[in-house]
Amino acid sequence: MRFVIHIASVQGEPGEGYRPVFDLGRCVRNALVAAERLAAAHDARTVMFPLLGAGVAGGQPGPTARLMVAAMLDHLASRPHQGLRAIYLLATTPAEREAFEAAIAGAREARPSSGAR
């Protein structure tokens, strides 16, 4: 069974165009809570995130990827064993892939390893 969790990660204003929402990390955490509910009720075990707000909203891939990865790690650290088995990151361009890879590498360097993989 597959589900879609919609995140409003972009806001637009007439004459101003689009931009990422102010608290993108909160969007990520809310989506993870929704995914955990689906995991509990429907045996959904994985979730996938694209790089939020980086399309027409013009969010920069590097800072956006770092923010998203940090929000995911903080959420998982505060709510262990909530049913999700994997979080996938969807990169649709080489720049997005590089941004996610750099964010993950930076997070590994910044956080002490618990020994678990």
pLDDT at 114 over 60: no
pLDDT score, position 117: 41
Q: 9 by DSSP, 3-state: which?
A: coil
pLDDT score, position 17: 85
pLDDT at 99 over 60: yes
pLDDT tens by residue, 32-66 = 999 999 888 888 889 999 999 887 778 889 999 99
- The identity of residue 7, as a single letter, is I
Positive/negative CA dihedral, 105, 107, 110, 113: negative
